Amino acid sequence: MKRAASKRAKRLRAFVRTGGLAAFAALALHANCSWAQPLTPRAYRLADSAYKAIAAGDLPRAEDYASKALRAQPSSLQLNLLMLDVYIREGKIDAADVQADALMKRYPNDGNVLAQHGFLQQKQQRYDLAADDFSAALVKGQWDDAQQRNLRLAWADSALMAHRPEQAAQALAPIEHDPDVAVQLRVAQLHLRNGDRKGALAAAQLAQANAVSDDDKKSAAALIEYAEQPEPDPRNEQAQKTLQRAYDLLRENKDSEALVEFQKGFALGGGNAGNYADAGYAAKRSGENDDAVKLFEASLDADDHEHAFDAQRRFGYRREVQQLERTWGFVLSLPYQVSAFSYQGTVSVLQPGIEAYWQPPKIGYRNGRILQFFVRGYGTAYDGSGNVTGLPTLQGSVGARYKPLVDQNLVLSAERLVRLGSLSQNDWLLRMGYSSEAGNDLRVTEPSWRAWQVYAEADYFLHQGRYILYSQLRYGHTWAVPAISDRLTVYPHVALIFDHDSKAQDRTAISVGPGVQFRFWFREHHYSAPASYADLTVQYHIPLTSAARARGLAAQLTLWY
C-alpha cells in the first residue's frame, strides 16, 4: 500500500515537472492569444525567432531572441511571459523567480501571469502557493477549453500535493465526467485520498480503457490494484484523519497544535517522508529544535525507501538538520592585501584573525532567529611598509550578536574591544549588518548556477566617536568541479566595494574589479549537509576614488567551521 501511494506521488511530480507546464505554455504563450498587446514589427520578428528556437530545442538561442524582443518592446506582457517561459525551460529558476515576481507586481490580477507564476511555484514544489495561483487564474483569465482544462489539472495536482483534497475536488468538478485518461487518473487519486475505493476503481478503469501510452496504462493499472486491495486497518484510517487535522491546523498557522496532531498520527502508524518533513518544519517554527531534527531525520529515513524526493530536496532537509544542530563554531581568516601607491611604491599587509562563537541550545536558534556569543582576536602579522607587527598589534574582543528577523539577514552586535597589545585599544563597538544572497549554498543537482551576494555594515566605536560604513556586492556564476570533488566549487565574479571611515585621511573608498573564489565544503553525514567550508577568494580592485586602500590585489583564506 505504501509503495502504491509512493507511485501516485511520483506520477504527480512527473506531471508537475514536465507535461503540466509545457502543455499550458504551448497554448498560453502563442503569439495570437487574444490578450496579447500588438507587437512592433521588430519585436514580432524576434519573438517569432524565439518560438522557432524553442521548437527546435535551442534554448540559449531562444533566450537571446526573447531578450532582444523584450528590449525592443519592454511593455509587452506577451514578451515578458515568453522570457519567463524560456527561463523555466532552461532551468534558470533564480532568473525565472525574479521575472515572475516582477510580473506579479505589475499585473497582480492578470490570469496569464497568475497561471505562469503558478507553474513556476509548482515546479519548485511550493504546492500551496501554486494552488492559490491556479485558482485565481481560472477566475481572472479568459481561457479556451484546452487552456482551462490544463489549468484545472495543474490546480488539482498542486492541491493534492498540498493535502487540500477539497480544492482538488473543486478543480476537477467541471471536468470529472470527461473520460480522458489525464482527468480520470486524477479523479481516481482524489477518490483514494478521500477513502472512496469504489469511486477510485471506477475512475481508474475508465482511465485504463482510454489509455494510449504505456505510462498511462501503468498508472491506471497501479491505481486499480490499489483500489482493489482490502479496506485498510481502521487504525490506519484514524492515522490519516489525524494527519489531515494536522494539515488543517498548519493552514491556520497553528504550528504547535499541528505538531501534536502529527505526532499522534505517526504514533498510530501513519506518515510518509513528506509528512515527516512537514512536521519537522512545524517543530522548527515552534522552537522545538530537537523534535525538528528527529522529524527531518525520519523524513530522510522514509525517503530511503519511498524515493519521493530528488537530491536537492534531500539536501535541503539535511541543511535544516545542520542548522538546527549547530551550537558552536569558529572562523579563521587570513586576509592579505597588496596596494600600489604611486608615491610610496607597493604596500602589502597580512592581518590574520580568529573568532570562536557559542550558540546556546534552543534559544540560540529559533526558526531563523539566532543568538551567539563570541570572542575574537586579530592583529598584523606582516606589513611591507615596515610598520609595527606582531604582539603589539594584537586586538581582542568579546561580544554578542543577534539576528532578530526570521526571513531577513539583519544582524545586530555589541562587543567590547580588549587591549592585548601595546598598540591596540579598549573601546565599545556597536555593529549592524545586513546581507542578502542567492546561490551561495551547494546545489547538488546542478553543474552550475548564478550567484550573487550583497553585504552592508555600519560600525560605531563609542569612545573614539568613529564610524565606518562598508558594503560589497558580488555577482557571478558558480561551477561545480566534480573532476576534483563534488564538494568543490569555483565562483568567478565581479565585485563592487564601498567603505567610508570618518577618521581616515581619505574618508571614502570605492573600487570595482574581477574576482574568483574557490570553496570546498566538508563535515557532513547522512542526515546533515556540510557544516563547514574552506575558501580562497582573490579580487583585483580598480579604484573609483583616490583612496589608496581602494586599489590593488586582495586575497583571503577563510576556514568556517
Beta carbons of 207 and 186 less than 8 angstroms apart: no
Q: How remote is the C-alpha of 312 from its chain's centroid?
A: 10
Alpha carbons 259 and 241: distance in angstroms, whole number: 14
- Secondary structure letter of residue 453 according to DSSP: E
Instruction: Tell which residue, 76, 31, 24, has the closest CA to residue 52.
Output: 31
Beta carbons of 46 and 68 less than 8 angstroms apart: yes
Q: Which secondary-structure segment (H or E) carries 258?
A: helix 255-267
- Kindly report the CA angle at 152 between 150 and 157, in degrees rounded to 5? 95
Per-residue pLDDT band at 30 (split at 50, 70, 90): very low
State phi, psi for 218 to the nearest 5 degrees: -65, -40
Alpha carbons 105 and 95: distance in angstroms, whole number: 16
The pLDDT score that the predictor gives to residue 346 is 58
Residue written as cell 564610524? 467
Query: Is the pLDDT confidence value at 88 over 90?
Result: no
Q: Is the pTM of this model over 0.75?
A: no
**What confidence tens digit (pLDDT) does each residue in 459-477 have?**
999 999 999 999 999 999 9
Query: Is the pLDDT confidence value at 3 over 70?
Result: no
Give me the helix-helix angle, 273-285 and 255-267, nearest 10°.
150
Count Cβ atoms below 10 Å from residue 275 Cβ, excluding itself: 23
Alpha carbons 175 and 324: distance in angstroms, whole number: 45
Alpha carbons 177 and 190: distance in angstroms, whole number: 14
Alpha carbons 412 and 405: distance in angstroms, whole number: 11
Long-range (24+ apart) CB contacts under 8 A made by 542-545 are 542/511, 542/512, 542/513, 543/509, 543/510, 543/511, 544/510, 544/511, 544/512, 545/506, 545/508, 545/509, 545/510, 545/511
Positive or negative, the CA dihedral 446, 310, 300, 296 is positive
The pLDDT score that the predictor gives to residue 232 is 60
Beta carbons of 528 and 500 less than 8 angstroms apart: no
- Kindly report the CA angle at 174 between 173 and 177, in degrees rounded to 5? 85
Q: What is the largest CA-CA distance in the chain?
A: 89
Residue written as cell 565599545? 428
Mean pLDDT of all residues in 53-59: 91
Alpha carbons 152 and 144: distance in angstroms, whole number: 12
The pLDDT score that the predictor gives to residue 37 is 66
Beta carbons of 49 and 65 less than 8 angstroms apart: yes
Query: Is the pLDDT confidence value at 32 over 50?
Result: no
**What confidence tens digit (pLDDT) does each residue in 211-240 have?**
999 999 999 999 999 888 876 666 778 898
Alpha carbons 239 and 268: distance in angstroms, whole number: 5
Percent of the chain with pLDDT over 90: 74
The pLDDT score that the predictor gives to residue 384 is 83
The pLDDT score that the predictor gives to residue 527 is 97
Amino acid at 61: R
Residue written as cell 548564478? 450
Instruction: Tell which residue, 354, 406, 357, has the closest CA to residue 377.
Output: 354
Measured CA distances, 416 to 287, 402, 430 (Å)? 30, 15, 9
**What confidence tens digit (pLDDT) does each residue in 268-301 have?**
989 999 999 999 999 999 999 999 999 999 999 9
Mean pLDDT of all residues in 420-427: 95
302: left (phi over 0), alpha (psi -120 to 50) or beta: alpha
Alpha carbons 142 and 175: distance in angstroms, whole number: 17
The pLDDT score that the predictor gives to residue 6 is 45
Residues whose CB falls within 8 Å of the CB of residue 248, separated by 6 or more in sequence, listed in order: none
Mean pLDDT of all residues in 62-79: 92
3-state secondary structure of 99: helix
3-state secondary structure of 462: coil
Length of the chain: 561
Measured CA distances, 288 to 325, 387, 436, 532 (Å)? 12, 52, 26, 24
Q: Which three cell numbers stand for residue 431?
A: 555593529
Mean pLDDT of all residues in 478-484: 96
Q: Which secondary-structure segment (H or E) carries 375?
A: strand 369-378
Mean pLDDT of the chain: 89
Residue written as cell 599587509? 349
- Secondary structure letter of residue 423 according to DSSP: T
State phi, psi for 510 to the nearest 5 degrees: -135, 135
State phi, psi for 71 to the nearest 5 degrees: -65, -30
**What confidence tens digit (pLDDT) does each residue in 160-184 have?**
998 899 999 999 999 999 999 999 9
Alpha carbons 300 and 315: distance in angstroms, whole number: 10
For the purposes of burial, counting CB atoms within 10 Å of the CB of 400, is it exposed (0-12), middle (13-18) or buried (19 or more)?
A: middle
Instruction: Tell which residue, 168, 93, 162, has the closest CA to residue 125.
Output: 162
